[in-house]
Amino acid sequence: MSIFAARTARLRSLRQAVALAAAALATVGLSACGGDKTAPAAAPTSAAPAAVPSAAPVSNSDAATRLAGTRYYLGLTDRQATIHAVKGDSDQVTARIPLDSCARNTVTISPDGKRLAWVRGADGDWQSGTLVTSGIDGTRQRTLATDVNCLGPRALAWKGSDLLMVGKKSGQSVLFDVAAGKPVQGDPGEETSRCWSADGRWLAAEDDQLKPFVSDGTQSRQYSYTPPKEEAAHWDGWQAQSVSMDGRYVSVGWTGTDPSRRDDSFAVVDTISSNVVDLPVQGLIRSITFTIDDKVIVKQANGITVLDGSLKPLGTVAESTAVRNMKLLAYVP
């Protein structure tokens, strides 16, 4: 078994052990709290984190002007990935990337919308491949490393728009300076499930005890979240998917029981209080993204709701049928 596979198995075992322990507590009428509430425990609905109320949803015909930048979507077919740049009523395919098992799981866009990165699969190896970067149009391709892991819910993680965290097949984490085309010197740390705010300042991750935290390098705080009991039974835990510019909020999404990509999120947690925020939206949420201009994009089945940095509604934006079911990878003001 590879080091990466062993670490993955260890983390899964820890999650399952914590979940079983929390379930036992729930059976006798107790709820997990504090540091012990960080794993996806089965807890009574009444013990779930309190919801922080927000403003009522609004409809605004001028909302498009509040989201006037470019939204980048990922389209997938059997043979290729397509990058769609949507601005207003315009939808342009900026790049086409040949698909293999690794590329399908890793195509990503830098927060400034200038770079693509993905792992190109190697023959006979579905777990790792070659790290490739390019311009947003797919040109100026170059390879940065080999034996790069392509498994997991988020194999590649941007730290700002120039730095990219990857995992090697050996299990080692490596932070690459994509602009310079080389690794950053120094210890990348032992955190897992990393994601950064769009400017790269705030990190959301899990420590070696699977306790979630946020940090900007000068301050750090742990938070807790207990997902819905009924749904948690079908997943292998949860992780932060996006971080607000001030580090106060994270959006959370499920971690699959298989090593495939997960871009979706369904709730926002206040990392100061550990409360779940009652978002001003109605219907199923597909993803929640905190943007570099301090907005929040809540993608739903019927369109997008735009919130400000304090999670108050700014309005709604329609999505065309062509991109409605695609993954929203990035928004650039």
Give the per-residue pLDDT at 60: 47
Q: How many domains does the chain have?
A: 1
User: Which structural domain, as residue segments, surrounds residue 169?
Assistant: 3-332
- 320, pLDDT greater than 90: yes
Give the per-residue pLDDT at 52: 47
Helix (H, G, I), strand (E, B) or coil at 65: helix
Give the per-residue pLDDT at 30: 30
Alpha carbon distance 147, 121 (integer Å): 9
The chain-wide mean pLDDT, for the chain, equals: 85
Using one digit for the tens of pLDDT, what is the confidence trace for 187-198? 888 899 999 999
Which of 22-36, 120-134, 228-242 is least confident? 22-36
The conformational region for residue 277 under phi > 0 = left, psi -120 to 50 = alpha, else beta, is beta
Instruction: Read off the CATH number of the domain in which 219 is found.
Output: 2.120.10.30
- The residue-averaged pLDDT of 88-97 equals 96
Q: Are 228 and 48 in contact (CB under 8 A)?
A: yes
In which band, very low, low, confident or very high, does the pLDDT at 182 lie, cut at 50, 70 and 90?
very high
pLDDT > 90: what percent of the chain? 71
Using one digit for the tens of pLDDT, what is the confidence trace for 246-286? 999 999 999 988 888 999 999 999 999 999 999 999 999 99
* 137: nearest Cα among 121, 118, 113: 113
In which band, very low, low, confident or very high, does the pLDDT at 5 lie, cut at 50, 70 and 90?
very low
Give the per-residue pLDDT at 62: 56
Give the per-residue pLDDT at 63: 55
Q: Are 108 and 121 in contact (CB under 8 A)?
A: no
Instruction: Give the pTM.
Output: 0.81
Using one digit for the tens of pLDDT, what is the confidence trace for 9-28? 444 444 444 343 333 333 33
